[in-house]
A and B are shown apart, each in its own frame.
Chain A
Amino acid sequence: MPRLKRPLLVFAAALVLAAGLHANGLPRVQLFTTGGTIQSKGADRQKLMEYNAGKVTPEELLADLPELAAIAHVGFTEIANSGSGSMTGPILIKLANAINAWLAQPEAAGAVVTHGTTSLEETAYFLNLTVRSDKPVVVVGAMRPFTAVSRDGPFNLYNAVRVAATPEAKGFGVLIMLNDEINAARDTTKTNTYRMETFVARDLGPLGYADSDRIVFYRRPTYRHTFRSEFDVSKLTDLPKVDVTYAYQEFDGAAIDAFVAAGAKGIVLTGRDADAVKRGQEKGVVFVQSDRKGAGRVMTSERATERGTPTADNIPPHKARILLRLALTVTSDPAEIQRIFNEY
């Protein structure tokens, strides 16, 4: 090798590393696995339900997709290997801290998280509030297990890595990738128990698509997220206990009293009983009003301000719970919590 070219090569290598590229020129993406249907095996290939969660290892996932080697250098970190239902505050914090540590490295291009679909949107929204980087973080799942015919997992994972490796995907907040659609963590909800187009951002639609010709974006979220978020979980071991009530005719507030007795610091209301709320507030419990419909905003109003119950905008109750848990790590003032619900 001619001597003159060597400093140039060293310089080029440094540039490559700084741009989040592996030594072989490919972007470096880390896969954080938590389990879910995407990592599940069924007894036979027609089993689309009653499969056992947590059977496919990260190594198997990656070995199943040799095509990834052409688009990214993919490493992995196993956070958990269980279904959506086993996700807890401590695991969420561990996940956020691991992603933050990875993305803080200059050579990291992005992160992909595997997750069960049932509570995927809650974890994605949590990360949207706690990842302190503008690098792409893509949460991915599958509606059909690893072993099924016409399984959706592999293409979802392939697309998730593509998006995580794409510099144009920076700054959109945490993304959800299934069914070719790039969705925003805050606005997207699982709308169907089994169909593959289950993740939908009602009213707002997807941000873009991972199509064969290109990754394309049409929308950018305007609310605060990731690198513009005020929440820091690096020193926490768990999150405040927050529960959710469901609204129905003759809802009588017994659930509210029981949550308060069990030590809830906050309660997201869809079902509301004025007396039970007052009793809870006297004990310092913070209440946020959401709604069970799954679309449309709960508006700010003089009446809600008087009641001391901030409103959750169009954040559905289970995600309002995530935001309230984080809000309670910094304040219990209803006005301040309303500001937080207005901004995130």
Chain B
Amino acid sequence: MRLVRYTYPQTRIAPASLFARSPWAGLETEIDRFFNSALTDFTGPNHTEPRFAVDLYEDDANAYVRAELPGVKRDAINVEVVDGYLNLAATREDGTAEQPATTRFSRSVALPEDVTPDRVKATYADGVLTVTLPKKEAAKPRKVTVQVS
């Protein structure tokens, strides 16, 4: 069984019931928004280690890592595969001409076991970095039909 951790979007989806919207729904939504904004204010732009969201997918042939890195230049992105981990590092120039500021991102993602480090490809579009990691040949599922006699 695989557990996939997912960040749920803000809007609550009310369960189907006689009262499709409970009297508390408005209050709960307001409290959720209050806490969300309070917590994100703590981890604002001045936080020591800015974080970025990473998704991990796979299909039969490859594993894929998508990282949300808006506003980064391609040559400021560093992608490495070391010891079964994918290391992503990037720097972004923020701030204005008078006050340049650099934001550094770095993150290590554990890769599934059947991934080979060669022939890894990465593309960056619309602020999202997509890394394609081919799987080992032997790991690709092959269908074997067995006759029962």
**A is bound by B:** no
State the A residues within 8 Å of B (CB).
Answer: none
B-side residues, CB < 8 A to A, are none
